[in-house]
Structures are given as C-alpha cells and as structure tokens.
Structure 1
Amino acid sequence: MQATTASSTTSLPGQYWQWRGHNVYYVRAGEKQPQRPPLLLVHGFGASTDHWRKNITGLNQDFEVFAIDLLGFGRSAKPKLQYSGDLWRDQLNDFISEVIGQKTVLAGNSLGGYASLCVAAQHPDSTAGLVLLNSAGPFSTPQPTSEPEALQSQIQPPKESSGLQKLLGNSVKWMFQQPLAQFLLFQYVRQRWVIRQTLEKVYLDKSAITDQLVEEIYRPAYDAGALDVFVSVFSTPQGEKVDVLLRQLTCSLLLLWGEADPWMNCRERSQKFRQYYPELKEYFLTAGHCPHDEVPNQVNSLLRDWVLSIN
C-alpha cells in the first residue's frame, strides 16, 4: 500500500492509495479508538469525499473517520473500466483490509449505500455495522426509481401501454446508447446550472445548495476519463439484487431516510428492507436524497448513538 498527500479544496487534507494501479483518494480524521470501530463514509453518484465534510468534522471527536472517493469519482482515477457494484465492493473491502486494518462501520449514501451493502453482505469479516442513507440498488421486484436510474428516467419517456409509445421508448433508449448521444448528454448534465437544477430537485433545504457544493460536483466531471465512467455506469448490467444481499447480511443495520427524496418512495422501500431484514433500525428525516448534507447534526447524532449501542 502506498499513500501520498493530496491537495484538497476542503479543510481536511487527503491522501492517495494505490489500488490495482490506480490512484484512490481518501480522507482520514480523528484518532483510533480502541473500544470503538472506525467509520468509512461512501458517497453517491457524482459526489465525493467533499460531500461528507459536515459529517467528518462532526464525528471525528468520537471516532476514527475515513471517507473515500470511489474509483471513477471525485479525485480518484477514472480509468476505462466496467464500473459496477462488484468493482466498488472490492475497492472498499481492500481499503478496509490494507488501510484501515480492522472491522469497520460502513455508511453509504445512494450508490455508495449499495456498494457498502455489497461489502457488508459478501465480506462480513470487514464489517462492524452498516448505515444506509437513501440507499440505491434494485430489488427482485420492481421498485420506485432510484439513482442513477432517476437520471435515465429524465431522458426516457414513461412506460405506457401503447405499442407506438413503447417503440418510441425503446428508440430513445437505443439513441442514448450511441456514442455521440452519450457525449452530448454528458456535456449537458455536467454544466453548473444543470447540476444546481438537479440538486434543487433532490434537496428539501435549498439553502444547503451552495456554490461550493455545485463546484465539488462540477470539478471532477471535467477530469480525463469522466465521460467513460458516465457511459459505463449507465450501460453496465444491474448488480446483485438488494433482497439477495440482505439475506446474506449478518451485521447490525441502520437506515436513515431523507423522506422528501423524489427519486425513491422511502416508506415503500423501507417496507422492502424490513421484509428481508426485520431486525434493522431506521429513522425518517425531514430531508431529501442526501440527508447527511442537509441535516448533518441529526445524522451525526443518530449514527454516533447507534454505533455506540451496537458496540
């Protein structure tokens, strides 16, 4: 394992870890606590370690806290690979093994929640507990749209009964699988005003949408390889179903829902989680898709108390 210091626009300095020949960026804060597990915070689609700033500074007095940029996002490398839950599962598991060095509580938002669930279910020796914040991922039965499917739903017509409309829907889907269309779509979605517009749809508290937040999402989208990552995420087949993963899960599970999330029906999704893992604990918060950024004090308090209770 090699680590080098990296510059950051945040007040928290980060480092690079070499994984499979690629630079992976992470932040570490706080001191190791002999009687408490460390925390590993995992961002959602298009975000990075920056998105956890309020949580890192709010939790590092009580825990050793790590946050990581998934390969393909943030300050991490963006090689041309097939991006999937399996890839990020392996990245997170190896990071826990090589860098953290002990069982860890994983906390993931959206896409990062799905990747964290994959680790917890399939690598129990790495996991001391699991916290999912508006976690993405498909169930075996149809579920309300979630990230990144939400973006696809914005560019594809809704499902209709008409054969002509079905044909048109398939045509649109085919069109956005073409390289030129993918390029043009990516040029569109990575503009600052589009990023802000998207955030305004999924944040309940609009005051949390700062210029800094927009810039933190905008900046990595112009890194070399960002287009390839975008295309891969939307073309890779779905990973293991959430219900299958929940059946494999053995650690304690906390769900934190931003109930105003327009990308998923949190109450309905919650029932699915309870169906397959009834012993979980959960809270519904007055927030949107990213409760850790909108209501960080509530999230930090609930996460802290829960980790101490299971420990």
Structure 2
Amino acid sequence: MTTTTPLISTQPIPGQFWQWRGEQIYYVTAGESKANRPPLLLIHGFGASTDHWRKNISELSQEFQVWAIDLLGFGRAAKPAWTYSADLWRTQIHDFITEVIGQPVVVAGNSLGGYTALCVAAEHPESVAGTILINSAGPFTSSTHPKEPNIFQKAVGQILTGFLRHPIGNSLLYKFVQRKSFIRNTLKKVYVDQSAVTEQLIDEIYRPSCDRGAPQVFASVFTNQQGEKVDVLLGTMRCPLLMLWGEGDPWIDARSRNEKFREYYPQLQAYYLDAGHCPHDEIPTQVNAIVHNWVKEYCRAVV
C-alpha cells in the first residue's frame, strides 16, 4: 500500500543559523529553486517565529523554494539589548536576501512581519519581486486635522511608557503577558477557529519568551518610535501587491484598512477570509492556494 506525505504539516522544519552583525539569526528553507519562479520569504508577526509558518512551508515548497526567518529578538534568533525598530528588521531582511538567498524574492509577512515586508519592498525594490501582506500592521499618516488625544489618554500613554522603560515595571508586566494562560486567551480572541489554538502553538510562542533578553526586546518594541508611514512606503513601491485579510480579526477593521491601502496602491489585489489575525495558520490550505496562484500569475523570477 502506497502512503503519501500530507502537504499540510504541523511539524516545524529543522533550520540553521546565519550570523548577522555578530548575532545568530535562525531560518529554515525547503523546496528547490525554480528558474521561472521567485523564492518565497516568510516573515512572522510579533511574538511568533518561523514555527508559525509550518503549515505553509510544507505545502508551498512543493512548487516554490521557500524561506522563513526569525526577526532579531524573536523565536530562536538572538535577543541582544538593542533598539528594535522597523528600520532594524528591514535591514536584516534585505541583508538576508542579498547574502543568503541571492536573488529577489516574493516577501510575505503577517502583522508586524507584513509591515517589515512592506518596508523592504518599498525601500529595497531590487530585492523584491512581489509582496504579500497578511493582516498587516503599520501606521498611516494622520488626517489633515487629527483628533488630539485628551489629557487622560496622554497621561495613560506616558505612564505606560514609563512603566515599560523602568526595569521593575517592565519585568512585572512581562511576567504577566508571558504566562501560557495569557497567550492562550489572547490567541482565542484573535482566531475564529478555536481548534487552531493548540498547545503546540502556545508552546511555540511561550518558549522564546523565556530566553535571556526577551523582556528587554518587549520593552524596546513598545517604547520606540513608529517607523515610516504605510502611505509613504506605498508611494515608492512598484512590485505586485497581494493583501490577505482575516475578517474575524478584532484588532483590525479589514475592509476599511484595505481601502486605505487601495487609496495609495490601486493596483493591489485583496482577499477577505473567514479567519482571524493569522489566517495563514488558521486556514493554511486556503491561504496557500491563493499565494500559489497569485505568485505564478503575477511574479516572475529575477536572477
């Protein structure tokens, strides 16, 4: 009797380390390079890692060479006491494409990873053949007459920032959000399909949070200034753009946010999905099919 390996796998693919600026960066790769198809590079969101793409790598690598990387400060990557920002991760990803992959890629990112992917595509167009944003984060420029936060909102913001910057305050807050029960409850709020919130997924997020330096990364991310505005980035980007939106995401109004993207990049293609903040993990078969068809139709390998 012949057995076949399932295309969707829940097992992480063993990876290796790349030395970047004296720090260890973890990445995985699967599939063979195709002469007529660009590689895919997958970038996780805040608190996640290459493990969050395990259901996508196994299937997409049947047709593409696929890479996934841990952003510095997350997953199995080093967590030095640096200032963490979109500029840092943009440079990390661009250097990885240049030094390791060696050719332009289709860069795909979820949430914070989506914003990082957009930064790379806009500011290093020579490295990107296409961009896929999945419930992407990132700030837009305020309207002409932005609504000023009231005195109470300003005070709360200042207190929280000061709390995070103080070692004891940051330690207390970090210990609270690091708990597996907190991770589980948060995931259940942002996943439509509750069965996708497995103990394996929780462990994959919890494990790196125990690494030395992780609390300082947490504080740095939330206390540093935001990066370049999304509309400014879209104004300089030239490659094909695919937007995937899980409409059940409580953190993002998918329809209105997509229209903001379309205002500055009318040629984008968008899909609205019955999923939450991480549709690539929640409904991987559907996401993989969309990515597969879109890349084959709109993105060409550039060597």
1:175: Cα distance to partner? 3.4
CA distance, structure 2, for counterparts of residue 123 and residue 281 of structure 1: 21
Match of 1:284 in 2: 272
In the superposition, the TM-score normalised over structure 2's length comes to 0.91
Identity of aligned residues (%): 59
Q: Does 1:241 align with 2:268?
A: no
SS where residue 268 of structure 1 aligns? helix
1:160: Cα distance to partner? 7.7
Give the counterpart letter for 1:104 in structure 2. Answer: V
Match of 1:224 in 2: 212
Q: Does 1:64 align with 2:52?
A: no
Q: How does 1:3-18 map to 2 (within 5 A)?
A: 10-18=11-19
Match of 1:124 in 2: 125
1:2-26 CA distance string (max 9 Å, x none): xxxxxxx944110100111111000
Give the counterpart letter for 1:64 in structure 2. Answer: Q
Give the counterpart letter for 2:30 in structure 1. Answer: A
SS where residue 141 of structure 2 aligns? coil
1:58: Cα distance to partner? 1.2
Q: How does 1:1-311 map to 2 (within 5 A)?
A: 10-141=11-142, 163=151, 167=155, 170-310=158-298, 311=300
Contact 2:164 2:223 (C-alpha < 8 Å) held by counterparts: no
CA distance, structure 2, for counterparts of residue 230 and residue 264 of structure 1: 21
* Larger mean Cα displacement after TM superposition, 46-55 or 133-142: 133-142
Instruction: Tell me: CA distance 1:238–1:124, structure 2 relative to 1, closer, same or farther (3 Å).
Output: same
Gaps of 5+ in 2: 1-9
Instruction: Tell me: CA distance 1:36–1:190, structure 2 relative to 1, closer, same or farther (3 Å).
Output: same
1:228: Cα distance to partner? 1.1
Gaps of 5+ in 1: 1-8, 143-158
Match of 1:151 in 2: none
1:241: Cα distance to partner? 0.4
CA distance, structure 1, for counterparts of residue 263 and residue 192 of structure 2: 28
1:140-160 CA distance string (max 9 Å, x none): 027xxxxxxxxxxxxxxxx98
Report the RMSD for the aligned CA atoms in angstroms: 1.6
CA distance, structure 2, for counterparts of residue 272 and residue 251 of structure 1: 18
1:177: Cα distance to partner? 3.5
CA distance, structure 1, for counterparts of residue 293 and residue 223 of structure 2: 39
1:63: Cα distance to partner? 0.1
In the superposition, the TM-score normalised over structure 1's length comes to 0.89
CA distance, structure 2, for counterparts of residue 243 and residue 41 of structure 1: 22
CA distance, structure 2, for counterparts of residue 121 and residue 280 of structure 1: 14
Match of 2:7 in 1: none
1:174: Cα distance to partner? 3.4
Number of corresponding residues = 286
Instruction: Tell me: CA distance 1:269–1:168, structure 2 relative to 1, closer, same or farther (3 Å).
Output: closer
CA distance, structure 1, for counterparts of residue 204 and residue 160 of structure 2: 31
SS where residue 67 of structure 1 aligns? strand
